[in-house]
Structure 1
Amino acid sequence: MDYFKKLGTANLLMLLLCAVIILVAEYLFLTGDQMYGIFIGLWAPTLLGVMIYLKLIDHGGK
């Protein structure tokens, strides 16, 4: 439980959003919409990259 407090609410919500994006992309890919599944599947790593970038900027300012 302490880990979630340390992680922060915003980061936890972003990680949950990434998990939902991955599940939706897998569903689309497996139901026959491969191109849409791949397109939406690329949102999760992009979102994680933005999170890492913002965390690096935040730690660089301190």
Structure 2
Amino acid sequence: MKKLGVSNILMLLLLSIIILFAEYLFLTGDKLHGIFLGLWAPTLLGIMIYLKLISNERR
């Protein structure tokens, strides 16, 4: 837990909530909004990885 850091844990929690809400929307019949919202999670994960790589490169 200490290696991840508070900000990463909060971001992963937010991503989990986004995924669950997207699945809820998709399964209740609002398929387009579910797909649109579901695409946010991998985008945010990509941004997290990119920022992590930039911060590691500067060290």
- The TM-score range, normalised by the shorter chain, is over 0.9
Q: Which residue of 2 aligns with 1:26?
A: 23
How many equivalent residue pairs?
Answer: 59
Supply the RMSD in Å over aligned alpha carbons. Answer: 0.4
**Which one-letter code corresponds to 2:23 in the other structure?**
E
Residue ranges of structure 2 left out of the alignment (5+ in a row):
none
Structure with the greater relative contact order (CA < 8 A, sep ≥ 6): 1 or 2?
A: 1
| 1:1-62 mapped onto 2 (5 Å cutoff) | 4-62=1-59
TM-score by length of 2: 0.98
Residue ranges of structure 1 left out of the alignment (5+ in a row):
none
TM-score by length of 1: 0.93
The structure with the largest helix share of the pair is 1
Extract structure 1 runs of 4+ deviating beyond 3 A: none
